[in-house]
Structure 1
Amino acid sequence: MYNQNIHGSTMNDSVGSSCCAQGLQTYKDVKEYYGKYLKSSKDLKTNACVAPSRPLPKHIRDALKDVHEDVSSRYYGCGLVVPECLENCSILDLGSGSGRDCYMLSKLVGQKGHVTGIDMTDEQVEVSKKYIDYHMKKFGFQQANVDFVQGYIENLHSVQIKDKSCDIIISNCVINLSPDKRAVLREAYRVLKDGGEMYFSDVYSNKPVSEELKKNRLLWGECLSGALYWKDLLQISEEIGFSRPRLVTSSLITVDNQELQEILSDYSFVSATYRLFRLPQGTVNENCQVIYNGGITGCEEELQFDANFTFREGEIVVVDEELGAILKNSRLADEFLFRPSEKGGPSSKCQPKKEVISDPFQLAQEARNQPQSPSSGSCCGPKGCC
């Protein structure tokens, strides 16, 4: 059921008649910046989308090694968006660029899975399409399980991506480049299956970005002036119907350029990874205890679900109502045992001792104040993400 394309063959370059003039100019500027100006990650002027590498699970390292160098060199992401439990899944990459993440994921989902990348930049889509045959031969697949379309992430209808056709949506430092974040999240919700997940890294601001700053073409292209205020993400996603965003990782972004520092003034930015789930209508939320069965590739003994919950094989964890519903109704359901929470029942070493953190600036500051062990959920570092 997963190896069928999730879209038709029609490509439409329109973003809809409702887009304002400023929005259309933003599309034009971003396409020019990423299509004609940037030839590699070395051309970026800030470190918002580049950071030192960090240890990764072996299966991800192996998949990345197989990606063609020409594709990898054009990678401008702000986090490594690789959720767990991917086998046989249908995945959509919003703003797929040169296709690095898509090719990595195409190996991880296997021959029965499928990955589609959508990007509005002609030059990037051309590069990504060029290496389909190369990667399929590299992975030993008999037929292609990845494809790329030119289009806009605010209007997935234009490339005929169907309702409830995706198990997972990923996005890597792209939503901040969109002038209409609400439309992006609305479309993502539409095409996700019940129980489906949007797992994405992006840049967020500590307060709403001014209209004046939004007009700075360089800072928009560098992922800063288009950043969403983090509290607006929580509000918009819940209004659309998603479960409450689950914060996974967060890192403070530093801007070393003196001129840009003066322009940004008292603005602060983080690179953060969130998880959003589309739960079935009528889902009942109940407190429960869960036990991770173990064995997920790359997380055989320990699964870091988000910044607040880490599940170790065989260990009892008391989870909040919404997280219980997410685990029961998503692709992760078979990876856990569930039982009702009971007073006087077994205690859990992993039971949270503090409020659930949703503020990426709070998490980033805590990460700075104390050493953290490497996580497979993201590759974010103190100066952004790789």
Structure 2
Amino acid sequence: MAHNSRDSGNGFSDSSVHVDVKDYYGKRLQKTSDLKTGACVAPAQPLPAFVREALKKVHPEVTARYYGCGLVVPEGLEGCRILDLGCGSGRDCFMLSLLVGEKGHVTGIDMTEAQVEVARKYTDYHMKEFGYKEPNVTFVQGYMEALTEAGLQKNSFDIIISNCVVNLCPDKKRVLAEAHSVLKDGGELYFSDIYSSGRLTEEIKNHKVLWGECLGGALWWKDLLQLAEEVGFSQPRLVTASIPTVDDEQLRDILGDFKFVSATYRLFKVPKGNTKTCQVIYNGGITGAEDRFQFDSRYTFKTGEVVEVDGEAACILKHSRFAEDFTFQPPGGSCEPCCVKPKADTVDPFELALQSGSQGLGPATGGCCSTKTADCCK
């Protein structure tokens, strides 16, 4: 797939990849069941009751035009300003607009005009459904590689989410850099995506169907760690992982020995200073996680329990929206900057997926983008 470019009208170079993806998601796909693979799979964990209830309030047409990306809902949303990359028809945005409340705000951005039109069409419906006096959700047509060009302000969002769409962009580093730019200090990029076991061949990357199905543009998972650091994010924290399925035999032949994993990571915009290992106590104040808060695959905090965390996690908890939800009790003094910053060991998402029991042999069971999404959200 040659990445020839043309001006999209807002200064961003619109490549042939964008044109093909727009065609795939704007014309070829009319409903979730049109997807050809299980590269996009249902959430690895059951949705909290309050999220399920919020989803039930979303208009049926919005849900029907939502192409299968599994749900990515971080914790601590009340009053936050959230940006949804690749918002599609707006299902997640409307759900999130209810969870952030009237004092919060949700912005959705998507490059496909037909999808944005559906979202805008039903904005007033949802605001009336939620009982809001003023709309707290906005939809923008634009590119996730050019957020500021689309009119989004730097240092303006508390949280950015995306569900299985970063792989659809040719320039992943630019996406991460733009996300870092529009996040506030202490902000978080919480996203699910498809990753590969190695750098893909040109044949796979040039295959239009594989690209549209979230596989052809998959990043080698180790490259994510590198790119995140280069643009200024904290070390990516792996939350969940599962192995997707590819039922189409012809596509499996093209993919050969490459393996794929659906993984959710959280990246934070926090200071780079060195931080000691700390002991922390979760205070139990997060909605939906009052007794137990799974921060990532390494740390699950139970209310009132003392947990020793690595320096990276300590820095994130101290400088993010979670700071007030934790009491810090460093052993032998302060968890202030020091000469050594203990880092978390890198977690291999393929190993985590296998430990979780997801081996891609049956229906996909975790991550993002699923033909099973409608079922899991009932």
Q: Do these two structures clear the TM 0.5 threshold for a shared fold by scoring above it?
A: yes
Please give the alpha-carbon distance, in whole angstroms, between the structure 2 residues aligned to 1:183 and 1:129.
Answer: 27
Aligned 1:195-206 pairs, distance under 5 A? 195-206=186-197
Q: Is 1:261 the counterpart of 2:248 in the alignment?
A: no
Q: Deviations over 1:110-164 (max 9, x none)?
A: 0000000000000000001011011111111111000101000000122111110
Please give the alpha-carbon distance, in whole angstroms, between the structure 1 residues aligned to 2:73 and 2:52.
Answer: 11
Q: Is 1:190 the counterpart of 2:177 in the alignment?
A: no
- Structure 2: gaps of 5 or more residues: 1-6, 334-343, 360-364, 374-378
2:16 to 12, 17, 25: 25
Q: Normalising to structure 1: TM-score of the pair? A: 0.87
Structure 1 residue 384 displacement after superposition: 8.6
Q: Which residue of 2 aligns with 1:358?
A: 347
Alpha-carbon RMSD across the aligned residues, in angstroms, is: 2.2
Please give the alpha-carbon distance, in whole angstroms, between the structure 1 residues aligned to 2:320 and 2:95.
Answer: 22
Please give the alpha-carbon distance, in whole angstroms, between the structure 2 residues aligned to 1:364 and 1:385.
Answer: 18
Please give the alpha-carbon distance, in whole angstroms, between the structure 2 residues aligned to 1:90 and 1:16.
Answer: 26
1:233 to 202, 221, 224: 224
Q: Which residue of 2 aligns with 1:286?
A: 276
Please give the alpha-carbon distance, in whole angstroms, between the structure 2 residues aligned to 1:122 and 1:56.
Answer: 30
Q: Percent identity?
A: 59
Q: Is the 2:192–2:367 Cα contact (8 Å) retained in structure 1?
A: no
Partner AA of 2:309 in structure 1: V
Structure 1 residue 51 displacement after superposition: 3.8
Please give the alpha-carbon distance, in whole angstroms, between the structure 2 residues aligned to 1:357 and 1:385.
Answer: 30
Aligned 1:333-372 pairs, distance under 5 A? 333-342=323-332, 356-368=345-357
Q: Which residue of 1 aligns with 2:313?
A: 323
SS at match of 1:318: strand
Count, aligned residues: 352
Aligned 1:42-61 pairs, distance under 5 A? 42-51=33-42, 55-61=46-52
Q: Which residue of 2 aligns with 1:39?
A: 30
Q: Which residue of 1 aligns with 2:54?
A: 63
Structure 1 residue 326 displacement after superposition: 0.2
Please give the alpha-carbon distance, in whole angstroms, between the structure 2 residues aligned to 1:315 and 1:306.
Answer: 17
Q: Is 1:297 the counterpart of 2:287 in the alignment?
A: yes
1:380 to 337, 351, 367: 367
Partner AA of 1:316 in structure 2: V
Partner AA of 1:209 in structure 2: L
Q: Normalising to structure 2: TM-score of the pair? A: 0.88
SS at match of 1:303: strand
Structure 1 residue 187 displacement after superposition: 0.2
Structure 1 residue 79 displacement after superposition: 3.1
